[in-house]
Structure 1
């Protein structure tokens, strides 16, 4: 090839972009397909064949720069002592070339060199011959300063001297013993190599014995001769290797605020307690929406329930509306601002079932926002969101009492459950304070400014209009259901609503026609129904008992599962679940036994009646011929006085 292959070079093979991972003069090269992340191993003969065919071409614009002489492309990459030597020589060369036309005349060069030596304090100035050699190399290279680097920069034994036979045993050992899913350690693989060298020396003469490499030399050979991608693929699997060596670019970008909003959830590393009993409950779930461009928190919702469509809806509802009520609930909240509100263009999320729910899709449709699902197993598509959740745990949650830390090693002997002290409401207020007062006002490493400064600057260039009144009502009644009106009422999930007009609307609609029911997720007593005939919203009255105004949807559903809507009821007023289950099973079995007893009694009574009937019949009674109906199947006492059976006459009898 015109240019030798080096690690980092970009090239094309049959038009496909590749990058050189490793390149050995005697063993070929390893190429990485930049589109598919597949690895291709080429031998030296393959490289020469592809080069002769013209299908292997080195890209003109290279991202990696190399020199043909093996030196670094810039002087600062040299060792420190070589950098000092280069600067010393360069001062002499430039002084001579600036003050004389012929650098081969020693009587002209020596005075200039003596003057430079006195200026820089050089006690041993170079000779005229050395300066002549330096000047000639400098001019011949097109005034490349790297031509003045000492020739000893590339000297020395860069790689240890290893016998070819030992190197062959090294490749066999690594291929069969180290590059396996068993993940044998380097120490054991080196011991295996030493054993194979010892066995090989047993059949050799004294003057032909092989010298085994040390453990340090073995590790150096692995790092120098083995491709990292192949090493990861053979030991951890190809999927793991593709993910580990993926291209780490910036990912999706946004230009203006609320162009791209990313949402995700995680369990916080802290245990909360019951507000009344102070008993430890569990770790809450945090759902957060982040603006990709400014890193501002659009909405954050914390609840004890696992990730659900309602939690996503509550977070997005907070994201598009004003946060003034939250600021008013914080101490000294009037001194800070949380200006994020308005419609967003695109929302990015993972493939969780809560993001495929009807409520989530209906909300995005109401906001006229596009939805984008990230590819499975690729969380870097939502890198700012993942980073924020880690920052929240590290900078705030791990400092709170009752934290569980990130793992068991960090937790140590910390008693998380016994030291739990915060309620869910107190945790929410602390998180809001941290977001508004610290996170939004801390300089972001990628932005170069605080998220609040970035938001303020970009909003002036791209103003965000607030939600219109129609969309505001859509947001306030976020939960949407399609239900039918029955008996002048409509309901869902244990909630029943009524309005005097519903019975009239039911008569005017088609049979079983469904209408849209919208419920406020923060107050289930607030609900509306859409009238498709008059095209209006009708406010309903909640008929479900024992529901106080302000009860959220999650609290109501949690109360239904627990048997009561109120969360502060006295414990012990109702039997436990195991007692109820046992009694239900006992009642069910008793009812089943009653059915069996009734069937057994019926069978016994039928047998007794049949025996009594047979005993009362006369001896001359003949069995009726086939085709006639026997009265034994219908006992006389079971037919009653008003019923009789008309039997057909017997054959040969007079009509």
Structure 2
């Protein structure tokens, strides 16, 4: 667990590791038996490494199975690697836009020559061909095809509703968000708090829902990541917590995620987490209002079920009529989540699908034995790669996050020994535990400092804290606070005046019975007459 997360690897190291992973995957795909020295030599040539290094990389990839297993672990930058300056980056960008993305369709080789010529003309060292190709591949494939007039590529990358298909389970999983057509209420007050967002993932082959996430927050990298985590892992324990007995057998890494161009699907952490696990991401072409009829129809089906619930907004103002959605709202976020799950596993999966002519679960059961289930080799690292994070200071009494306090005995050795803020990973669906990266680089699990507390979601924790603060403000005795402040102010003023009078030596100076000139001379007592001695005879 001491290795960096995919999002923390240097850009050049990550690009090179991705290139190696692609080459080795292709190499191993066609060689199920013993590898020959000649085969490895060809791979070494492609990777531009020695044959010994090629053997080492194959061994690392077989053991790890991820892009991270091939990231160069040498300290500093790789030998010969240089970060391009802004001037050369601008030359590459301008040359691509002006000369490559045109209807004349120049080749990549011509683009490389143009970039290198422009750099040398400016007195700069020309970048390597791989660097130029990497910048070119960062441009959306369909955008490149449209600018260059490559109609066949445009057609290939265009998702057509009702035509896009997959031949096996988890070959393609589509993900999309929608704002639910229903108002939910607060757990405590039962007052309406708004409409939640639903993120759904669906297997194109079987039409099974692979996972979902319900939240009050707008679509983000978080909702996408949590939906993917729910999709990949076994759901048996998750269903038991919600007292649902119907099976939900879908689990495993998808080969390709089919998504739109939202910022949440473009985040660096999300892309790298998918790359590390060998998940390809296919983005919807820009300027297209819809990308996949399958997930769109599933969302429409789910929203139609919500129209039967109290608090629904229906799908249009005409349907809504005079119905007051907020006033009739009754379900909390947890209750709505359980209702949706019951509908998915107890109705949708078990009913005949119009396109398949069969229930989705029957299609899944038929195909699931044909291919091996692909799960993350390091489940914890895969999980942590997609969880949101915060940075927190380790205090003597633990980690404080969202008003909750966490502790682990493993953190005792770090208290007071480092001023660095620590990376904290958390699951908004279950705030009973967090994962803290120690200064050594290892992640440790920390739980509530008070182990008697029940598990809550982040939304519940934040709402409870907000309610508690509001209650505290209502219990404040403003009159007592103001009265006390005025009394304190008067006390300070009086003390200040007395002190000033004494220091000036004015009439206000207090008198004492002790003579300032000597030790035993007391005012009011005649010390010239001796005091008779009376012997104590008792």
2: CA distance, partners of 1:472 / 1:309? 19
Aligned residue runs from structure 1 range 48-87, under 5 A: none
| Superimposed CA distance per residue, residues 299-325 of structure 1 (whole angstroms, 9 cap, x where no aligned partner) | 122233333433333322221122223
Structure 1 residues 340, 501: closer, same or farther in 2, change over 3 A?
closer
2:332 corresponds in structure 1 to: 423
1:310/1:521 contact within 8 Å kept: no
Aligned residue runs from structure 1 range 102-113, under 5 A: none
2:456 corresponds in structure 1 to: 551
1:414 corresponds in structure 2 to: 323
1:261/1:290 contact within 8 Å kept: yes
1:573 corresponds in structure 2 to: 471
1:375 corresponds in structure 2 to: 285
Q: What secondary structure, in the 3-state scheme, does the structure 1 residue paired with 2:201 have?
A: strand
Q: What secondary structure, in the 3-state scheme, does the structure 2 residue paired with 1:293 have?
A: coil
- Cα drift, residue 419 of structure 1: 2.8
1:387 corresponds in structure 2 to: 297
| Superimposed CA distance per residue, residues 37-62 of structure 1 (whole angstroms, 9 cap, x where no aligned partner) | 9xxxxxxxxxxxxxxxxxxxxxxxxx
2: CA distance, partners of 1:330 / 1:546? 22
- Cα drift, residue 389 of structure 1: 0.7
Q: 2:433 aligns with which of 526, 546, 550?
A: 526
* Structure 1 gaps, min length 5: 1-13, 17-34, 38-245, 565-571, 588-655
- Cα drift, residue 285 of structure 1: 1.6
2: CA distance, partners of 1:562 / 1:529? 28
- Cα drift, residue 436 of structure 1: 0.9
2: CA distance, partners of 1:494 / 1:366? 33
1: CA distance, partners of 2:340 / 2:162? 28
Q: What secondary structure, in the 3-state scheme, does the structure 1 residue paired with 2:291 have?
A: helix
| Superimposed CA distance per residue, residues 163-195 of structure 1 (whole angstroms, 9 cap, x where no aligned partner) | xxxxxxxxxxxxxxxxxxxxxxxxxxxxxxxxx
- Higher RCO (C-alpha under 8 Å, 6+ residues apart): 2
1:342 corresponds in structure 2 to: 252
- Cα drift, residue 513 of structure 1: 5.8
Q: What secondary structure, in the 3-state scheme, does the structure 2 residue paired with 1:295 have?
A: coil
1: CA distance, partners of 2:241 / 2:412? 43
**What is the aligned length?**
332
Structure 1 residues 360, 524: closer, same or farther in 2, change over 3 A?
farther
1: CA distance, partners of 2:404 / 2:340? 32
- Cα drift, residue 453 of structure 1: 1.7
Q: What secondary structure, in the 3-state scheme, does the structure 1 residue paired with 2:318 have?
A: helix
2:355 corresponds in structure 1 to: 446
Structure 1 residues 297, 467: closer, same or farther in 2, change over 3 A?
same
Structure 1 residues 361, 484: closer, same or farther in 2, change over 3 A?
farther
- Cα drift, residue 326 of structure 1: 4.8
1: CA distance, partners of 2:104 / 2:261? 35
Q: Is 2:402 the partner of 1:471? A: no
Q: Is 2:354 the partner of 1:354? A: no
2: CA distance, partners of 1:424 / 1:486? 34
2:402/2:461 contact within 8 Å kept: no
1: CA distance, partners of 2:189 / 2:202? 35
Structure 1 residues 303, 502: closer, same or farther in 2, change over 3 A?
closer
Structure 1 residues 448, 408: closer, same or farther in 2, change over 3 A?
same
Q: 1:539 aligns with which of 421, 445, 448?
A: 445
Q: What secondary structure, in the 3-state scheme, does the structure 1 residue paired with 2:352 have?
A: coil
Q: What secondary structure, in the 3-state scheme, does the structure 2 residue paired with 1:461 have?
A: coil
Which one has the largest radius of gyration? 1
1:270 corresponds in structure 2 to: 182
RMSD: 4.3
1:258/1:291 contact within 8 Å kept: yes
Structure 1 residues 526, 293: closer, same or farther in 2, change over 3 A?
same
| Superimposed CA distance per residue, residues 322-366 of structure 1 (whole angstroms, 9 cap, x where no aligned partner) | 2223544667x53x3211012222223233333345664465356
1:488/1:502 contact within 8 Å kept: no
Structure 1 residues 348, 555: closer, same or farther in 2, change over 3 A?
farther
Q: Is 2:307 the partner of 1:398? A: yes
Aligned residue runs from structure 1 range 313-324, under 5 A: 313-324=225-236
1:488/1:499 contact within 8 Å kept: no
- Cα drift, residue 422 of structure 1: 2.6
1:433 corresponds in structure 2 to: 342
State the TM-score, normalized to the length of structure 2.
0.51
Q: What secondary structure, in the 3-state scheme, does the structure 1 residue paired with 2:181 have?
A: coil
- Cα drift, residue 298 of structure 1: 0.9
Aligned residue runs from structure 1 range 510-525, under 5 A: 516-525=423-432
1: CA distance, partners of 2:220 / 2:467? 18
| Superimposed CA distance per residue, residues 542-592 of structure 1 (whole angstroms, 9 cap, x where no aligned partner) | 45x89933122233344455665xxxxxxx73447xx9xx99xxx9xxxxx
1:306 corresponds in structure 2 to: 218
2:162/2:293 contact within 8 Å kept: no
2:161/2:294 contact within 8 Å kept: no
1: CA distance, partners of 2:269 / 2:146? 37
Name the stretch that deviates more: 259-268 or 413-422. 413-422
Structure 1 residues 264, 247: closer, same or farther in 2, change over 3 A?
closer
2:169/2:205 contact within 8 Å kept: yes
1:488/1:503 contact within 8 Å kept: no
2: CA distance, partners of 1:327 / 1:507? 42
* Structure 2 gaps, min length 5: 1-102, 106-144, 148-157, 483-538
Structure 1 residues 562, 357: closer, same or farther in 2, change over 3 A?
farther
- Cα drift, residue 296 of structure 1: 0.8
Aligned residue runs from structure 1 range 481-500, under 5 A: 481=390, 497-499=406-408
2:170/2:205 contact within 8 Å kept: yes
2:186/2:192 contact within 8 Å kept: yes
